Chains A and B, each alone.
Chain A
């Protein structure tokens, strides 16, 4: 992706070619097949949990996959709001930008509807209840209280991660459930278009915003990243309870601690580190604040995780 050669008109054109219909990807009433793992091991990170047998690791994989889609639905709540704001800023302005931004908002709503369909199918078929984050409005409010530069940076980062999740992790893994891989694919197809629109919006902000706003925006971006880490830690704790219920046995304190730590690592890696270390993200971050890429790389090292994200 080359941000500088992109234009909103080109984004709209490519978005129209790439778009898909909700009913084509997941018709209402679709039933899930729980025979295979849903997420690739590089994302689910269950292999090191030797206290779990193969069936239990597969169940934890599926619990993590369910939480993964819920988390995207969760962050899409604030992304829709911010894209509507950016679109409103283009009323009577750049019509291509207005179309590109409203398309992003519309597609994000579609993704939420897709993930809601998936959530219902998962609940129907999994057999036990899996708790997931449910304070989307609260988190959206916290993120939207930050500066628009910070909000667009975290949006850009999150949307870039879908490339790693599908193209570099799931696409060629034939051990995974084909339906879940298809969900990752269709999500990535549209999110990769959204990331290009984010980049153009960030370039506009870089052109018009005073330096103090760019610098404070970058600082607030790092605050959001830290808050996301805390949010995913809550999900990790829920996953341990969901796993214990699903496998029907009591986990020792040591087992619970290790499983919870592995979930925190998985979510930090999927939602924070993969974007934080993405070369396209770092290049744009550096244009806003030249010292920021070094801060991002230092933060990424503290998260550990999968070096293949780079």
Chain B
């Protein structure tokens, strides 16, 4: 499984599939990435999500931890 699939699956479990894709597209645009290709990209994506309140912020926090567990270097 690729990191992009992992993010899509996680967001789809928390929200609907269509909503997940909307969140992914908007968030990638905000952080200036085309896709999540490595743990550093995942960390940036998760960090952006944590700026939201509620469930989306919780998912963002989980993705940040996942990025670190998988070797993200930046913050």
Contact = CB atoms under 8 A, between A and B. Distances in A.
Interface of A: 85-86, 88-93, 147-149, 201, 204-205, 208-210, 212-214, 217
A69 to B, nearest CB: 29
Contacts of A88: 61-62, 65
B19 interface: no
Contacts of B73: 212-213
B62 A148 contact: no
Given A208-B39, A213-B39, A91 B59 contact: yes
A148 B39 CA distance: 13
A92 B71 contact: no
Interface in B15-69: 38-39, 58-59, 61-62, 65-66, 68-69
27 contacts: A85-B65, A85-B68, A85-B69, A88-B61, A88-B62, A89-B65, A89-B69, A91-B58, A91-B59, A92-B10, A92-B13, A92-B59, A93-B6, A93-B62, A148-B68, A148-B70, A201-B69, A205-B70, A205-B71, A208-B3, A209-B39, A210-B38, A210-B39, A210-B71, A213-B39, A213-B73, A217-B71
B44 to A, nearest CB: 15
A191 B70 CA distance: 24
Contacts of B39: 208-210, 213
A20 B11 CA distance: 36
Contacts of B68: 85, 148
A201 B2 CA distance: 16
A149 B59 CA distance: 22
Contacts of B9: 93
Main secondary structure of the interface of A (DSSP, over half): helix
Interface of B: 3, 6, 9-11, 13-14, 38-39, 58-59, 61-62, 65-66, 68-71, 73
Nearest to B38: A210
A5 to B, nearest CB: 19
A39 to B, nearest CB: 35
A148 B10 contact: no
A148 B69 contact: yes
A213 B67 CA distance: 12
A217 B11 CA distance: 29
A209 B58 CA distance: 23
A89 B62 contact: yes
Contacts of A148: 68-71
A91 B66 CA distance: 10
Closest 8 CB pairs of A and B: A213-B71, A209-B71, A89-B66, A208-B70, A91-B62, A89-B65, A92-B13, A92-B10
A86 B38 contact: no
A89 B38 CA distance: 16
A201 B71 CA distance: 13
Contacts of B69: 85-86, 89, 148, 201, 204-205
A209 B66 CA distance: 11
A147 B70 CA distance: 9
B64 to A, nearest CB: 9
Contact of A149 (B6, B58, B61, B71): B71
Nearest to B13: A92
B69 to A, nearest CB: 5
Contacts of A86: 69
Contacts of A209: 39, 70-71
A90 B10 CA distance: 9
A139 B69 CA distance: 20
Contacts of A92: 10-11, 13-14, 59, 62
